[in-house]
Amino acid sequence: MAALDVRDLRKAYGDQEVVAGLSFAVDSGTCFGLLGPNGAGKTTTLRLCLGLTAPVSGNIALNGHPIPAEAQQARARVGVVPQFDNLDPDFSCAENLLVFGRYFGMTDADIRSRIPQLLDFAGLGSKGDARIATLSGGMKRRLTLARALVNDPDIVFLDEPTTGLDPQARHLIWDRLKQLKSAGKTLILTTHFMDEAERLCDSLIVIDHGRKITEGSPRALIAEHIEPQVVEVFDEARGQLPLFVERHRLLCERVETSGETAFFYCRDPRPLLAALAEADGLRYVHRASNLEDVFIKLTGRELRD
């Protein structure tokens, strides 16, 4: 049984269709990524899947329950890490977990027996009595993750779990999410950090304007959509770049220019690298292509607000 199954989902606000016929399925025990630029409909899709807003049409089954009809039963086996922390500022870390567990109908004894392991998991073992205001951004995020696990859910929704965190805090969250997956949980996350999706997700979809534009595993998507090698060439403020691009664009399969940088997408970068060794006033980086290249190719370079 799929942990989450979404068919032909539509949602509109006024005349604007924010989810426009979305279908996807998430296998149990996998990590699934919902990717897209700002305003693509990611958070609305999550809210629809949790039964927090009604679709115009379409079918959703979460853990076997039709949504929104049986959303409350489904949510009993689900944990949610929202995009913005909404921990209770009046409570300590342990009290936050206790109060949240009660919303699931758990007894105080049940919750209290889980609190030490939840705090340990979040790396907050010594912070049980600490007030929320004294925690760093990373600690708050980890506590929010621990809170989402208080009911020992089968499925965990994470809406941009590492936005705003420093690299250390981000790596720690990634590590914990991998542990959860090893423990058999299904993870469903939205992110616009492509390295995050590449590390964590078994499969993902990219959506834009409420529509799915591609789906697959990160590796398969890179292989399908993009040349394996990328050379990024930067103009060192001498205006050499346009001419260089003009002369050498045929050395590569595809070239994109964005401001002072040209992106050469190649199968074989050697001729281009040789040309660059001769060139004056240009700096370059040669790297393997990644999910971000796929994302930019599919959703464009222009800014989304």
Partner 1 sequence: MHATLPAHRPSLTGFLPVWQRNFLVWRKLALPSILGNLADPLIYMLGLGYGLGAMLPTIEGQPYVAFLAAGTVCASTMNAATFEALYSAFSRMHVQKTWDAILNTPLGLADVVAGELFWAATKSLFSGAAILVVITAMGLTNGPLMLWALPAIVLTGLAFAALGLIWNALAPSYDFFMYYFTLFITPMTLISGVFFPTDQLPAWLATIGGWLPLAQGVALVRPLLAGQVPADALIHVMALVATAAVAFAIALHLTRRRLLK
By CB under 8 A, tell whether 3 contacts partner 1. Answer: no
CA distance 143 to 164: 15
Q: What is the nearest approach in angstroms of partner 1 to the Cβ of residue 290?
A: 32
Which amino acid is present at 123? G
Q: Is 112 in the site for partner 1 (CB under 8 A)?
A: no
Give the nearest distance from C-beta 49 to partner 1 in angstroms. 11
Judged by CB under 8 A, which of 8, 38, 64, 103 binds partner 1?
103
Instruction: Retrieve residue 74's tokens.
Output: 């489904």
Among 91, 121, 174, 234, interactor with partner 1 by CB under 8 A:
91
Q: Which is nearer to partner 1, 105 or 167 (CB)?
A: 105
When asked if residue 133 is in the footprint of partner 1 (CB under 8 A), the reply is: no
- Using the minimum distance from each CB to partner 1, give the nearer residue, 76 or 223: 76
Single out the residue of 27, 29, 95, 292 in contact with partner 1 (rule: CB under 8 A).
95
Annotate the chain with three-state secondary structure: CEEEEEEEEEEEECCEEEEEEEEEEEECCCEEEEECCCCCCHHHHHHHHCCCCCCCEEEEEECCEEECCCHHHHHCCEEEECCCCCCCCCCEHHHHHHHHHHHCCCCHHHHHHHHHHHHHHCCCCCCCCCEHHHCCHHHHHHHHHHHHCCCCCCEEEEECCCCCCCHHHHHHHHHHHHHHHHCCCEEEEEECCHHHHHHHCCEEEEEECCEEEEEECHHHHHHHHCCCEEEEEEECCCCCHHHHHHHHHHHCCEEEEECCEEEEEECCCHHHHHHHHHCCCEEEEEEECCHHHHHHHHHCCCCCC
According to the binding rule CB under 8 A, does residue 224 interact with partner 1? no
When the beta carbons of 75 and 192 are compared against partner 1, the nearer one is: 75
By the rule CB under 8 A, 16 interacts with partner 1: no
Options 51-59, 160-168, 193-201, 260-268: segment touching partner 1 (CB under 8 A) = 51-59
Asked if 82 interacts with partner 1 (CB under 8 A), we say yes
Kindly state whether residue 149 participates in binding partner 1, applying the rule CB under 8 A: no
**Cβ closest to partner 1, residue 180 vs residue 266:** 180
Q: Residues 8, 38, 64, 72: which binds partner 1 (CB under 8 A)?
A: 72
**CB of residue 24 vs partner 1: minimum separation in angstroms?**
20
* 76 sits near partner 1 (criterion: CB under 8 A): yes
Q: How far apart are CA 36 and CA 215, in angstroms?
A: 12
Instruction: Please work out the total of residues on this chain that contact partner 1, with binding judged by CB under 8 A.
Output: 35
Q: Which of 64, 89, 125, 239 binds partner 1 (CB under 8 A)?
A: 89
Options 23, 73, 163, 240; binder of partner 1; rule CB under 8 A: 73
Using CB under 8 A as the criterion, which residues of the chain lie in contact with partner 1 when the complex forms?
11-13, 50-56, 68-69, 71-73, 75-76, 78, 80, 82, 84, 86-91, 95, 99-100, 102-105, 151
